[in-house]
Structure 1
Amino acid sequence: MHYRHWAAAGLMLLLVNGKAAFAQQQGQPMPLDTAVRTGKLPNGFTYYIRRNAEPEKRAFFYLVNKVGSILEDEDQLGLAHFMEHMNFNGTTHFKKNDLIDYLQKAGVRFGADLNAYTSFDETVYQLPIPTDNPAMVGKGLNIMRDWAQEAILDADDVDKERGVILEEKRLQEGVGNRIQQQTIPVLFNNSRYAVRQPIGTDTVLKHFPVAAIHRFYKDWYRPNLQALIVVGDINVDAVEKQIRKQFADLKNPANERPRPEYKIELTGKNQFRTITDPELTATELELLVKHPGSKLITTADYRNAMKTSLFNQMLSHRIGELSQQENPPYLGVKAGVGGFSGGLEQFTFSITAKPGKLQEAFTDTWQLIEQVKRDGFTQAELDRVKLAYATSMDAAKQEKSKTPSSSYVSEYQRLFLDGAAAPGFDWEYDFVKATLPGITLADIKEVGTHFITTTNRDIFLVAPEKEQGNLPDSATIEGWFNKMAVAAIKPYNDSTATSVLLKTIPAGGKVVSQSAVAALDIKQLTLSNGIKVWLKSTNYANDQIQFMSFAPGGINKYSNEEFPTAANTIGIIGGSGLGEYSPVQLSKMLNGKSAAVGAYIGGRSQGINGGCRTEDLETALQLIYMRYTAPRKDPVLFSNAIARSKEAVRNRYDDPNNVFRDTVSAVLSGYSYRTSPVTLERLDSISLDKALAIYKDRFADASQANFVFVGNFNADSIQPLLERYLGALPALNLKEKGVILHGEVPKGKLVKVVEKGKGNKATVLLVYNGECAYSAEENLQLQALTEVLQYRLLTSLREKAGEVYTPSAQGSMMKEPDQRFAINVSFGCAPEHVDHLVGLVAQDIADLQSKGATSDELKKFKAGYRTQIELQVKSNEFWLQYIAGRLEREEELKALPDVEKRLKQITGNSVKSAATKYLNGENVIQFVALPEKAEAK
């Protein structure tokens, strides 16, 4: 359970299939998709039902309430979010935590699947339900009915939950929250939104009388503010019949309070605020121009949404081209049009400047915004983004039958909450195809003219505290804007790119042998240059191919002296384009194509990975060929990347999170040079020419490479393309082997405490680790142990102690380079609770070691494991990783093991044995992050 605050939700685009709207004009109302069944009961309760079999045997149930923190009275600050928690703590038909317990036994994971969120204007509960058992659909509706109006709100349960929510609030403490508290009053124009943050206040959360939350629940959890969305592999008629039966008796209050529609009123004024903090690591200037928003209802609205989307894409491309500037005075720049809270939309612009370069950074980047505002874009730019837009719609049409149910849920949610139209993909596709050609440069320029204005403008200057004396005031920055408004700015010069990726098509090679792995329906080809290709054809996606390769080698082959360059070779060379083409030119050449190929160099191997549409396979193979044979170095991009890295290093340890992360990494690696933090000296040692030489060295010989392709293709049909491009890769037959570097995790019991930062919070990480005898069976036992421990920690640390919000237990086991395991237990808490909570973890472990897992815990783990495996195996990504992983580990490719047979090995005693083996405490490292102590006066 969590709440969504303005930073997460308000700054996102107003989404309907990824498009944002502005300035409502006249137009025809968009129709409602005929595939969705909708209705409203006499009490005002609304429902939306749609059958969709992706994924199969699953349905998503969402209870959407037009109820959020904006509705809270002064004595209820935080209670909308508190109420969300309480719906999991007991309802009429699910006492206490029986609901979570029941669903976990059905394979629904708490947090990952079963969840909810609260924002300013809504509270939404989500529940995925397996539908292969018809009784579960009815049970899902029962749960939704209870959440709608059957919460018990027991006083003792309310008091217990106070600690949990206060700990959730504590997790937000830090520099980001301190900045947010200073920006929110400005952003929200001191409206009600500024004083109704969903998490609430400590005073109310600690002391509110139970009657206050009862009053909130009675006032606002009512059918005329609620909707139920059910999308999935269900019988629509049966579900509708059940909804009309179960939800008809929900009651609205006799004297119901009006549900106001709160807005953020625009003042016509500009606002400025400087914010400094000792934990900030860079200086950033951010501008937001706020405008009245609009709803996506009519065809004119949709056309405006398309214009805004095209505008944002072209602006993004222009900003991307700034990376070609040599030694820029900034570290980053962002700009675009998006949605905001309280019925508003916004244009945002931000730059992160190098030290002492703020004015120069502003001038260099704002002139791009002025250029767009004055001149708009070029026809070539518009043509490119139109092609990309049309291509994305075509791709979506190909995948229409594979659209996940969750996508439909979000669409109907916006329909209920905002009145945003949900016309369905077929209507949208036809409308885009008919409308896109008619959008002109004048239309796009209108977007910039509308949004990039000089009123209702908020400017924030956010910087490290030590820079406070060097920062400009509001008048100075206003002067920068005024100067740029009248400055002479050259028109944009659009560089063109050839449409030919490869000027010479290689002769290629031939398949010299082939075989099959019948158990997995895999075809294996061996090419004349030694490359092995593994092909698995699937129908998990209609128009998708994913691929990767690996070959022995890697960066472990290079000395410590060469390591800084070797470790950054992919970032340096892989990000510099290909052949004669810069990244910007390459992007233009690939416009309208759906093909991406990246290279990697790991510790003991190197290769490529990527994906494409079926029709773009040849383009993808050409990119693979170029990744091997045509690497490119770019001195400008290299020097800029090194400069950015140096700035990040200089102030890195002003951020306490970096101090803690680097401490953990250093200790767990035995203070290895290769995993220690980057320093200025290391950055100075990186050589562009050496990086290119290392890249060429790693990709000079493909003779030992294995390529794996998974997706919707015909293996016989694509063989000629594989022969032409993969068969042409260089083969030196060097018979390389990866170099194994053994880790040295400290043995015994260690405690490492980091005292850094101002927030009144602690972070605890317990790492139980050691050597093991790796096997798939043992790995499963470790997973079971970790999951059961997670159940225990949720009960002891969260539900009983009320001192933790989200305790986590994660386990892993690896076969190479050394057979080792690790179980990480982590949580955030109050600094004064650390020792107590570590003691509770020890008690839970001791209990597992003496008694093992209960039958209920085993049911939960096994149900969740079945569900995860069932969903995972129906994806191209799973099979790509499964095949490549077993090949690289030199394990036999065979059919997936029988899930039920494996789960029979998990028993109460096996978990007990695993706890004794893996949680014996012989090797455990306790990391604790604490706030720094106040200096004595």
Structure 2
Amino acid sequence: MHYRHWLAAGLMFMLANECTAQAQLIPLDTAVRTGQLPNGFTYYIRKNNEPAKRALFYLVNKVGSILEDDDQQGLAHFMEHMNFNGTTHFPKNDLIDYLQKIGVRFGADLNAYTSYDETVYQLPIPTDNPALISKGLDIMRDWAQEASLETDDIDKERGVILEEKRLREGVADRIQKQTMPLLLNNSKYVYRLPIGTDSILKHFDTDVIRRFYKDWYRPNLQALIVVGDINVDLVEQQIRKQFADLKNPPNERPRPAYKIELTGKNQFLVVTDPEVTSTELELLVKHPGTELKTTTEYLNAIKRALFNQVLSRRLGELSQQANPPFRVKAGIGGLTGGLEQFGFAVTAKPGKLEEAFAATWSQIELVKRYGFTQAELDRAKQSYMTGMERSLREKSKVPSNSYVSEYQQLFLNGTAAPGFDWEYNFVKQSLPGITVDDLTQVANQYIKNINRDILILAPEKEKNNLPDAKTIDNWLAKIASSTLVQYKDSTVNNSLLKNIPKGGKVVARTSIPAVGVEQLTLSNGVKVWLKPTSYKNDQIQFVSFAPGGINKYSNEDFPTASNTIGIIGGSGLADYSPIQLSKILNGKTAGVGAYIGGRNQGVNGGSSKDDLETALQLVYLRYTAPRKDTVLFENAMAQSREQIKNKYENPGVVFRDTINNVLSSYHYRTSPATLERLDSISLDKAFDIYKDRFADASQANFVFVGNFNTDSILPLLEQYLGALPSLNRNEKPVVIHTQLPKGKLIKTVRKGKENKATVMLVYNGDCKYSETESLQLQALSEILQYRLLTSLREKAGEVYTPSVQGGMSREPDQRFSINVSFGCAPENVEHLVGLVSQDIADLQKNGATSDELQKFKAGNRKQVELTIESNEFWMQYIVGKVERKEELKALPDIEKRLDQITGNSIKAASKKYLSGTNCIRFVALPENK
């Protein structure tokens, strides 16, 4: 349902509460066409034009790893892969090949996932050609029951799956393996991780996966969801015709509804690892979940959402006190196996775990004992209703994937999908009646002393300094018996500005009809670029930029300058702390942040139409009334110091920092932060730098994009933007050039315990930038990725997903870069690098094939069509043109641009950009034993 966009995560798993009102079943939205065929196959169809000329097809199966027999561990997920490797109407890899040629990108658009309880296939289809809709249904029909499952294809896919499994190995995987038996109460879920086991993945007999497919891929466990720009009647006719002959197996196996049983016991576990970088205590209280079908359950969901919101704010205030020894989060959410939980986690500074736990758990005890204040609840209600009002205004712009998510949960869990109008009316009617006592009841219902798990995760070196279960119990008992001071809510003035500034005037106004933009010049020199759109019903986005930036400051001041926004931008505004500011802005849709880049600075943000004045007041304050806060500064510095001390225990951080250092030739300004640099940061200097960067708006350009009337908002722009300070400094950006490493280099990093390698090949150099060359580079990168998917994944079976990322910059230096990256077994690095070289050599000799060109052009064409229909695109387009002092003109004809991409142009591009003259091979390997 739509509330999932703004309720706390996990609310689909509801816990029943007693309610005096009689529960009623929530009705199904009449806008969705649903039905069930005689064989049990279910369908949901809805017309929706966001985006236009597109439809989403989802095949949802109540089939996941929990259904695997002992000899099938990992085969539910394996089966998902096999549906892309050959079906009745699409042998071998013809399916991916066909879809790419109509503009559907593998991985980004075409995808699937397998979890414990379901397997879901997703397919976006262009609908401007009716034949494509029929073809989409053919694909769904094949996925439902027509997989080929040929022995050679199964055997080839083993390596791919094992490499996917290898990518997941690391500290998180090691922790999961130790904690899952406790968290999941040693249920079957512990032994059915979807990725499976090496022994079975390597050696299972092919008949074993065919048995799984025959048992479980059947119509009475399947649903088809189609949402998009379609004719509902025609789609329903086709579904009823094409899916009616799907067969359930004779003597079908029952599909159990697996649940994790609660034990009524408390559990405790300590896990340490050399690659864990901080000490964390997690406390979880597990509860059985229920379905979300009735009005009572929906009301309970609202109460829980309000509880989570208020608790989060309360803990946020706690973390802004002087020198907190912790980071903390808590709330009610979902858990696997039909369970839900109250979860609490505190991360402590070294040696401060008891202090951190006492400070934070005392707040939980305080909530249980005294509940929340009326003011806290009122703010949460206001924020909740604001979210509903925002959704109401955007009701006609709901994207198709939102509806798909609703119907998926309806099929899998029986979760009600009544449509937004019902939800809005229910919330509007029910919200006023929720009391602080209701939230206290939620707290006492969920925060119990049974079915409680306590986990401590810590660095290996802290192993001998950690508490045991008895010690934690003593901590809890001490807090429970202590005298706690009831929370006192602070009130604030609801006015952002004490005095409305004297504004300026528009002194020039120009229309640019080619792009639907108006340009205003204000009396203080500020220039404003306005583009009204209708992509969203109630959204206005904006950004400003002016020359200046961090580069104006010396290396000595660089640590402070580069952290100025984090320090000052996060300290509130004027006389208001961040907490006070959040209270003033509660219930409003307006937010504005500041930034200082290398060569410029400005603000960015957005609002609803009604809250534009609030947003402009925030802009005015960002320029004229920064705030510094010694407590928040010291807290941030202390936290950063702790992070730096242990960060190189993480192999991924070591590898990333190595790459960044080498590519920048160890330039001071791009190298990682150190304790010495942190110690040089000054709060007063940061405040002075911020004020200096925003002291003069005379060169600022503001770009506004969204659903507004230019004439209507003009007085507000004059009032607030016209009042920004103007010193006419005529600043110039400072350009700092960096040097690229030259020649062929190999950098190897040995860190970590897992038997896996990460490879990144960087081809880079200087170039002459043009939009034509940038597109050639993009095409070359995507075509090389097509080839690597075939050679490294499909043929060699030694890689899960190779990635090729290409880009070209024009400032401060005109340069290109193509990065080829993949994970693999350490022993396969040389072989795979050799295959990459072979694919590059073939491109240089023969150029791109007609099939590759068709795939790139179809995908690019569809992506551009979707991208340009957004406020974000037009914001970036206008900013780029204005900042580079280029003419704002109509977008180039996409077909003319794509016509420039040919087999020979790709050949030339590969020789130019993949010559290997400058090529750096980065390889991460496990530590030497």
Q: Same fold (TM over 0.5)?
A: yes
Q: Is the 8 A contact 1:21 1:302 kept in 2?
A: no
Which residue in the other structure is 1:650 paired with?
645
Q: Aligned runs of 1:533-544 on 2, under 5 Å?
A: 533-544=528-539
- Distance across 2 between alignment mates of 1:79 and 1:901: 47
Counterpart among 88, 96, 101 of residue 100 in structure 1:
96
Question: 2:4 matched to which residue of 1?
Answer: none
Partner of 1:576: 571
Q: Is the 8 A contact 2:14 2:291 kept in 1?
A: no
1:659 maps to amino acid: V
Structure 2 counterpart of 1:539, which letter?
Answer: S
Residue 166 in structure 1 maps to residue 166 in structure 2: no
CA distance in 2 between counterparts of 1:609 and 1:22 reads: 43
Q: Which amino acid aligns with 2:510?
A: S
Structure 1 equivalent of residue 584 of structure 2: 589
Partner of 2:25: 29
Query: Which residue number corresponds to residue 47 of structure 2?
Result: 51
State yes or no: 1:396 paired with 2:396.
Answer: no
For the pair 1:509 / 2:504, whether they are aligned, the reply is yes
Say which of 465, 471, 486 aligns to 2:466: 471
Amino acid at match of 2:613: E
CA displacement, residues 254-288 of structure 1 (integer Å, 9 cap, x when unaligned): 11000000110000001110000001110000011
Query: What is residue 853 of structure 1 aligned with on the other side?
Result: 848
1:277-356 correspondence runs (5 A): 277-330=273-326, 332-356=327-351
CA contact 1:24–1:294 (8 Å) conserved in 2: no
Distance (Å, rounded) in 2 between the aligned partners of 1:158 and 1:13: 37
Q: Does 1:405 align with 2:400?
A: yes
Secondary structure at the aligned position of 1:324 is classed as: coil
Q: Is the counterpart of residue 210 in structure 1 residue 206 in structure 2? A: yes
- How much has 1:12 moved relative to structure 2? 8.1
Is structure 2 residue 120 aligned with structure 1 residue 128? no
CA deviation after TM superposition for structure 1 residue 323, in Å: 2.5
Q: Distance in 1 between matches of 2:787 and 2:8?
A: 37
1:532 is the counterpart of 2:527 = yes
- The one-letter code of the counterpart of 1:716 is D
Equivalent position to 1:240, from 222, 236, 242: 236
Paired residue for 2:141, among 134, 142, 145?
145
Amino acid at match of 2:775: L
Task: Work out the CA distance in 2 between the residues paired with 1:349 and 1:317.
Answer: 14
Distance in 2, matches of 1:890 and 1:832, equals 52
Contact 2:287 2:446 in 1 (8 A): yes
- Alpha-carbon deviation of 1:876? 0.3
Quote the Cα distance in structure 2 between the aligned partners of 1:719 and 1:572.
33
- On the 8 A contact 1:848/1:915 being kept in 2, the answer is yes
1:469 Cα deviation after fit: 0.9
Structure 1 letter corresponding to 2:721 = L
Q: Structure 1: give runs of 5+ residues left out of the alignment.
A: 1-10
**Counterpart selection for 1:629 from 624, 639, 646:** 624
Letter in 1 for 2:397: K
Q: Distance in 2 between matches of 1:817 and 1:493?
A: 52
SS in structure 1 of the partner of residue 611 of structure 2: helix
- Where does 1:57-136 land on structure 2 (aligned, <5 Å)? 57-136=53-132
The alpha carbon displacement at 1:482 in A equals: 1.2
Question: Do 1:20 and 1:309's aligned partners in 2 also have CA atoms closer than 8 Å?
Answer: no
SS class of match (2:142): helix
- Give 1:497 deviation, angstroms: 1.1
CA offset digits 1:770-793 (Å, max 9, x no partner): 011100000000000000000000
Instruction: Indicate if the aligned counterparts of 1:61 and 1:231 stay in contact, CA closer than 8 A.
Output: yes
Distance 1:652 1:266 in 2: 38
Q: CA deviation at 1:843?
A: 0.4
Q: Which amino acid aligns with 1:32?
A: L
Residue-by-residue CA offset, 1:363-405 (whole Å, 9 max, x unaligned): 0000010011111100000100101111110000000000000
Letter in 1 for 2:724: L
Mapping 1:407-446, distance limit 5 Å: 407-446=402-441
**Superposed CA offset, 1:240-262 (max 9, x none):** 00000000000000110000001
Alignment check: 8 A CA contact 1:371 1:489 kept: yes
* In the alignment, structure 1 residue 489 sits paired with structure 2 residue 488: no
Instruction: Give the counterpart of 1:565 among 560, 568, 575.
Output: 560
Instruction: Give the AA of the match of 2:883.
Output: E
1:456 paired to 2:451: yes
Tell me, in whole angstroms, the C-alpha distance in 1 between the residues paired with 2:880 and 2:469: 57
**Secondary structure of the structure 2 residue equivalent to 1:287:** strand
Question: How far apart in 2 are the matches of 1:387 and 1:552?
Answer: 40
For 1:223 and 1:15, how far apart are their aligned partners in 2? 29
Aligned counterparts, 1:721-870, within 5 A:
721-870=716-865
Match of 1:8 in 2: none
- Alpha-carbon distance change, 24 to 862 in structure 1, aligned in 2, over 3 angstroms: farther
Match of 1:520, SS state, is: coil
Q: Give the deviation of 1:445 after TM superposition.
A: 0.8
> How far apart in 2 are the matches of 1:24 and 1:110?
48
Letter in 1 for 2:227: V
Report the equivalent of 1:183.
Answer: 179
Q: Per-residue CA shift, 1:461-499, capped at 9, x if unaligned?
A: 000000111111111111111111111111001011110
Distance across 2 between alignment mates of 1:230 and 1:182 = 41
Q: CA RMSD in A?
A: 1.0
Which has the larger displacement, 673-682 or 138-147?
673-682
CA contact under 8 A between 1:22 and 1:308: conserved in structure 2? no
Is 1:39 paired with 2:39? no
Q: Would you say the 8 A contact 1:14–1:21 is kept in 2?
A: no
Partner in structure 1 of residue 884 of structure 2: 889
Q: Which amino acid aligns with 1:195?
A: Y
- Letter matched to residue 287 of structure 2: H
3-state SS of 2:332 partner: strand
| CA contact 2:264–2:451 (8 Å) conserved in 1 | yes
What is the correspondence of 1:252-267 to structure 2 with a 5 Å cutoff?
Answer: 252-267=248-263
Cα distance in 2 for residues equivalent to 1:625 and 1:716: 21
In structure 2, distance between residues paired with 1:24 and 1:753:
61
What amino acid does structure 2 have at the position aligned with 1:246?
A: Q
The yes-or-no answer on 1:368 pairing with 2:359 is no
Counterpart amino acid of 2:273? D
- Residue equivalent to 1:195: 191
Aligned residues between the structures: 921
- Pair 1:706-2:701 in alignment: yes
Aligned to 2:246: 250
Query: Offset of 1:24 from its aligned partner?
Result: 7.2
How far is the alpha carbon of 1:745 from its aligned partner?
1.4
* 1:834-891 superposed Cα distances (whole Å, 9 cap, x missing partner): 0100000000000000000000000000000001100000000110111011111222
Cα deviation digits, residues 335-374 of structure 1 (max 9, x gap): 0000111111100000110000000000000001001111
Who is 2:218 aligned against? 222
Offset, 1:20: 5.8
Distance 1:323 1:610 in 2: 25
TM-score by length of 2: 0.99
SS at 1:53's partner residue? coil
When normalised by structure 1's length, the TM-score is 0.98
Work out whether residues 15 and 288 of structure 2, in 8 Å CA contact, stay in contact via their aligned partners in 1: no
Deviation at 1:324, TM superposition (A): 2.0
Q: Distance in 2 between matches of 1:370 and 1:889?
A: 57
Cα distance per residue 1:750-804 (max 9 Å; x no partner): 1000000011110000000001110000000000000000000000000000000
